Amino acid sequence: MDALAFFDGECYFGIVSEVSESWDRVKMIESYDEMFGATLFKCMYDIAPDAWTPFAFTADDVEQKNEKFMVFAKRFVRMLDLAVHMLGPDMDIVAEEMMDLGPAHARYGVTARHFELMGQALGHTLEKVLSSRDCTPSTKHSWEKIFSFMSAYMLEGAKSV
Ligand code: HEM
């Protein structure tokens, strides 16, 4: 796969800076990790209640913000934070880092459908937690691009399992 071709002539730097800036806005919200994790997982379980077998939580745990679930949700958002921080000027390096995450995800039972559903839920979550000024159609497009870029390389890396 050619990382540059993935962006189809669009400006990678513009996309990355839009994602990073909007993520910084999310991080200004109090207890952003708990809030974002709870909202993201609620969206994921609303979209596809039975899809999330890689996680040890039910839709009820998510709905009721069960304590163990909240600890996990917070950790999951920290992972997302790490992934956003991995974004940098060299997209080939980001692609390699994503490929390295692929095999572990394949072992967790994560499939292409999970990436697709999580990508949708992520878009809804950003819309919910950010103001319309900070989450414009262009912001959403940039997140979609980055998320599908990351997903594509993680799935590519998973092929080695
Ligand atoms: C672009 C998308 C994603 C990124 C950047 C990402 C990143 C990460 C990272 C950095 C870790 C910790 C390292 C590791 O355990 O290998 C992790 C763990 C994990 N991820 Fe992902 N992930 C993504 C998508 C997904 C999806 C779609 C699912 C499943 C629906 C998923 C399920 C998991 C699970 C179950 C773990 C282990 C959590 C634990 O420690 O209990 N991830 N992810």
Quick: pLDDT tens for 4-19: 888 888 999 999 999 9
Ligand 1 neighbourhood includes 83 CB (under 6 angstroms) = yes
Task: Please give the distance of CA 128 from its chain centroid, rounded to a whole number.
Answer: 15
Crossing angle of helices 12-27 and 112-129, in 10° steps, is 60
Q: Which of 122, 149, 146 is nearest to 19 (CA)?
A: 146
- CATH of residue 85's domain is 1.10.490.10
**Domain of residue 43, residue span:** 19-158
Quick: pLDDT tens for 142-154: 999 999 999 999 9
Pocket test of ligand 1: the residue of 44, 79, 99, 100 to mutate, having most ligand atoms within 8 Å of its CB, is 79
Q: How many domains does the chain have?
A: 1
- Using CA atoms, how far residue 154 sits from 44, 57, 101, 144, in Å, is 19, 23, 6, 15
Residue 148 within a domain: yes
Residue 120 within a domain: yes
- pTM tops 0.85, yes or no: yes
Residue 120 makes CB contacts below 8 A (sequence gap 6+) with 43, 47
Each residue's pLDDT expressed in tens, for the chain with a length of 161 residues: 788 888 888 999 999 999 999 999 999 999 999 999 999 999 999 999 999 999 999 999 999 999 999 999 999 999 999 999 999 888 899 999 999 999 999 999 999 999 999 999 999 999 999 999 999 999 999 999 999 999 999 999 999 88
Helix (H) or strand (E) holding 22: helix 12-27
Residue 9 within a domain: no
